[in-house]
Amino acid sequence: MKTVGIIGANGYTGSELIRILAFHPNISLSFLYSRSNPGIKISDLYPDLETVCDMVLTDQPQDTDIVFLCLPHKESRNWLAQNPVKEETLVIDLGNDFRLDGNFGDRNFIYGLPEINKKQLSGAKSIANPGCFATAIQLALLPLADKGLLNDVYTTGITGSTGAGQSLQATTHFTWRNNNISAYKTLTHQHVDEILQQLVTLNSDEVSLNFVPWRGDFARGIFTSSTIKTEAALSDIEQWFREFYAEEPFVTVSEKGIDLKQVVNTNRCVIQIERCGNVTVIHSTIDNLLKGASGQAVQNMNIAMGWEENLGLNLKPVAF
């Protein structure tokens, strides 16, 4: 049994980690760290955890075998600098501090997209969890990059309000978000550099990604559509995707139209490919809090620890 500490346990990704790890057969939760709510039971903040976890939040970290960093972006480096962890401790960062530059002291963070870095993740002690949009978009494009077919890519993606974090903002308030959608960070989203960094390792030519993200009027989930031009036949493209993900337990290539509800509350990514003339569109959908964050972090933990990759992650999607 390995001990786990969650830093930033009071946020959405932290609470989702608790929900998963409370039933993980190889894990014992040792402490839940929060700077803003020490002394408060986690179930008082998240009533859905009342029958799952009754631990009290603390601002005093402890030594554990595994630490998950669920802090706001750009805060993980500072936290680690102020709270050094043992060399043998597995650190998994769910922020963006180490995705582009993985060096931190004696640690070298491995980019935690299992579908391309599984060998490097095995036995790793420092893992940088990918971003939510970055995960959905990369999984839709990696098989084409592997064939050197990416040049100009045009992607749109819509995400739920939980993607903005727990802190209330004008654009996450129910009265603004309900019955409304809007574009944001057009062509400048912070995940673009992260995506390109990985795609160029497979694609033979430089890739241009033109990404327009949208805010959706729902709580959780991401749906992306990426458009490229290629003369390759649809049957060949579908075969490439199936071969690329043949050994991946959480990626499914569907011949039917796909829906967000197929993946919400799961660690799955479902992909569908459509084509008209020489234009191909690859749709992908994930739960932004699970495959896009906490679920993928647990998947990375399982791989790093040498456990079954899907341990604790056999979750049923929301059906209705």
> 63, 88 in Cβ contact below 8 A?
no
Any residues with CB less than 8 A from the CB of 43 and at least 6 apart, and which?
Answer: 49, 50, 52, 53, 54
132 noted as active-site residue: yes
- Residue of 53, 70, 132, 269 with catalytic role: 132
| 179 φψ region: left (φ > 0), alpha (ψ -120 to 50), beta (else) | left
Q: Residues with catalytic annotation?
A: 132
